[in-house]
């Protein structure tokens, strides 16, 4: 790889930085091996402007923004690169008394770098010599996503690694720190942070891709669960019930639901997201004559988790599992 960076500062008020890098990876075919990525950012220290000279309660006030791109070549399966047709792409088999080899994966000569695009904008402040913090808006997009693109079972290959789709994360993150006591010997500060974001798929090679507990569609989140919904227990048989759509004569949902004990007949529904509504931390530090005590709590509010351990314990076996 090759990397370059330029930084400029004018009068401790205006800052600008830029970078450019060119990376090559042998995990791709020689025709698509190289990727070009750049970044640019700037900030303005408003507090250093002449018109701010009379506002002594503002120690620092900065406005900033940046945009940058990064490449990702982490397309590994069992620790091996996924492009090469001769590297971990063949398996052995026995067909009665005959041994042989078969394709487990297909090489993809057009595979290229996945690109991560990051946009950040926000403000930093230090007020009253006690209160400091920052507020930022961010967008983190990903294009040319490396994904296991499903193949028809008739091909003998379940998927091929490919660049398919794009998605974006949008959100805000804030942090705040307050000096409750700011003495010569005794200092006590309290701080905290909060982050909230949402995820959206913006491009796919087909209308939908179902993979495990997820059903990927444009406009929805990569972290939305698409699963059967539990409807309680059948009082007559004691078997688990699941919801399913009532269909009309043409096979389309009528908007009504009924229940079934068969998981094969149960309808899968979007059932919440794994993304928390917000995450962050609360921290505090007390120092006195060289001694210091500090702590930090982290938190997450909202978001759902699929509990496979509980599901296995509740399976339909005679004695359960552990």
Give the dihedral sign, CA 298/119/200/37: negative
pLDDT of residue 62: 97
Structure tokens at 260: 């079934």
pLDDT of residue 238: 87
How far is 142 from 166, CA to CA, in rounded Å? 5
- Tell me the β-bridge partners of 272: none
Among residues 275, 240, 277, the alpha carbon closest in space to that of 259 is found at 240
Residues 6+ apart with CB under 8 A from 299: 279, 280, 281, 282
pLDDT of residue 199: 96
Residues 6+ apart with CB under 8 A from 305: 274
Among residues 269, 241, 240, 272, the alpha carbon closest in space to that of 255 is found at 269
How far is 52 from 186, CA to CA, in rounded Å? 31
- Tell me the β-bridge partners of 257: 245
pLDDT of residue 86: 45
pLDDT of residue 70: 93
Kindly give the parts of the chain with pLDDT less than 50. 76-81, 84-88, 322
Structure tokens at 153: 């079972």
pLDDT of residue 200: 96
Among residues 172, 77, 166, 189, the alpha carbon closest in space to that of 115 is found at 166
pLDDT of residue 318: 54
pLDDT of residue 319: 57
pLDDT of residue 316: 61
* Per-position DSSP letters for 37-72, written without gaps between them: EEEEEEEEEGGGSGGGTT-TTEEEEEEEEEEEEEEE
């Amino acid at each position: 790889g090759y990397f370059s960076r330029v930084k400029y500062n004018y009068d401790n008020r205006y800052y600008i930085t830029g970078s450019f890098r060119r990376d090559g990876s042998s995990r791709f075919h020689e025709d698509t091996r190289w990727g070009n990525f750049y970044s640019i950012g700037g900030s303005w220290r408003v507090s250093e402007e002449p018109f701010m000279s009379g506002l002594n309660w503002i120690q620092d006030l900065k406005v900033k923004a940046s945009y940058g791109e990064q490449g990702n070549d982490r397309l590994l399966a069992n620790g091996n690169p996924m492009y090469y047709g001769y590297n971990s792409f063949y398996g052995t088999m026995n067909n009665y008394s005959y041994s042989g080899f078969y394709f487990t994966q297909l090489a993809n000569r057009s595979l290229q770098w996945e690109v991560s695009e990051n946009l950040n904008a926000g403000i930093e402040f230090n007020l009253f010599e006690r209160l400091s913090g920052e507020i930022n808006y961010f967008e983190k997009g990903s294009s040319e996503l490396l994904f296991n693109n499903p193949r028809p079972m008739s091909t003998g290959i379940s998927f091929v690694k490919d660049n398919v789709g794009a998605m974006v994360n949008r959100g805000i993150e804030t942090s705040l720190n307050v000096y409750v006591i700011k003495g010569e010997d005794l200092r006590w500060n309290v701080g905290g942070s909060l982050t909230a974001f949402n995820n959206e798929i913006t491009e796919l090679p087909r209308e939908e891709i179902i993979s495990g507990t997820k059903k990927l569609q444009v406009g929805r989140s990569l972290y939305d669960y698409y699963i059967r919904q539990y409807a309680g227990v059948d009082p007559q048989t004691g078997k688990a019930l699941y919801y399913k759509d009532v269909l009309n004569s043409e096979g389309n949902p009528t908007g009504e639901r009924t229940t079934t004990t068969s998981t094969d007949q149960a309808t899968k529904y979007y059932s919440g997201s794994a993304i928390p509504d917000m995450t962050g931390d609360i921290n505090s530090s007390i120092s006195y004559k060289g001694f210091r005590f500090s702590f930090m709590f982290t938190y997450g509010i909202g978001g759902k988790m699929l509990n496979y351990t509980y599901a296995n314990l509740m399976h339909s076996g005679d004695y359960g599992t552990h």
